[in-house]
Structure 1
Amino acid sequence: MKLTPLQKRAYHKQRNTQQLDLNLTALVDVFTILIFFLLSNSTEVEVLPASKAVTLPESNAEKSPKPTVVVLVSGTDIVVEGRRIAMVSDVMASPEDLIAPLQAELQLLSTRQVVSQDKQGEARAITIMGDKDIPYQLLRKVMVTCARANFSDVSFALRQKADA
């Protein structure tokens, strides 16, 4: 059967107007499951603020960190929650064990923290991120100052050792 040019044009026009119906319900379901999976798995990892000035020691510890006040002690500075508090050279030159600016900052932070009535007398938690090459005397001064500011629950930030 031979088609006339008018019939050919009508056939092509009819063929081009037919559209496929896309069922987006399955695609939306897949994306919903993907978003739920990503959100549920993103809360498992606790990341402490990192600094290139601090090289953490390595450990085999499996316990994950809890959210606390972070004191970063590098070779040059002492930083609390991102604010530079004191210089290491000034702290090491001082004969006292107490670091006054650090104590003042920790006391200020402790007044901002919400503490329930039954836990008011308990010590507060703090995480010290100390460079692995800082002297013990400096670390001792930081720990004494934290204890005097009622931050006695001290944790040290470490790098997870790679399994060999």
Structure 2
Amino acid sequence: MSILNPQGAKWKRSLFADLLLTALIDAFSILVIFLLMNFSSTGEILFINKGVELPSATQADILEHNTVVRYDEGKFFIENKEMADQNAMIQELLDTRKEWATTHPDEEFRGILTIQADKKTKYESLNSIVLAMAHAGFGEIRFAVVTK
């Protein structure tokens, strides 16, 4: 302890700790802003399985939240739930439509379906999705694409 300044070393340590804390808070604030700017999006984020390459498009709309049907390695998934056959797909789409009607009673059902499939997928493979959506009352198809 110093005779001239009884708080001497303790005062210097607390000032140094305050400076470190201020710099740390600034660094975390910058990091949070950076992460918010990079991960904010206006559309829905689709999870694409490894090895699946979406078709590319020069013009595309911003993705809205719709029912997503995924075709991957010969299997169909509606909202990540695997479907056994076309009848199961129709039933799941009908259930989705009923659920939408109960959660949005004042809005008209738009019937938009987003199909996510590899760009090498043949139309014959997607035909059962189109037939199922027609039976369930979905009238508009949108494909998940990557913009150029």
TM more than 0.5: yes
- Rg larger in structure: 1
1:102: Cα distance to partner? 0.8
- Is the deviation greater in 149-158 or in 32-41? 32-41
* Residue 18 of structure 1 pairs with residue 11 of structure 2: yes
Ranges in structure 2 where 5+ consecutive residues have no aligned partner: none
- Check if 1:107 corresponds to 2:70: no
Report deviation, 1:151. 1.6
CA drift of 1:106 comes to: 0.7
**1:111 match: secondary structure:** helix
SS of residue in 2 equivalent to 1:73: strand
Q: Under a length normalisation based on structure 2, what TM-score does the superposition of the two structures give?
A: 0.72
Between the two proteins, what is the percent identity of the paired residues?
26
Counterpart residue identity of residue 73, structure 2? G
What is the aligned-residue RMSD (CA, Å)? Answer: 3.4
Runs of 4+ in 1 over 4 A off after TM superposition: 8-15, 23-34
Residues 132 and 14 (structure 1), Cα distance of their counterparts in 2 relative to 1, 3 Å cut: closer
Residue 159 of structure 1 and its aligned partner are, at CA, apart by 2.0
Aligned residues: 141
Task: State TM-score, norm by structure 1.
Answer: 0.66
Alignment match, 1:78: 76
Q: Displacement, 1:128?
A: 0.3
Query: For 1:107, what is the secondary structure of its paired residue?
Result: helix
1:133 corresponds to which of 120, 132, 140: 120
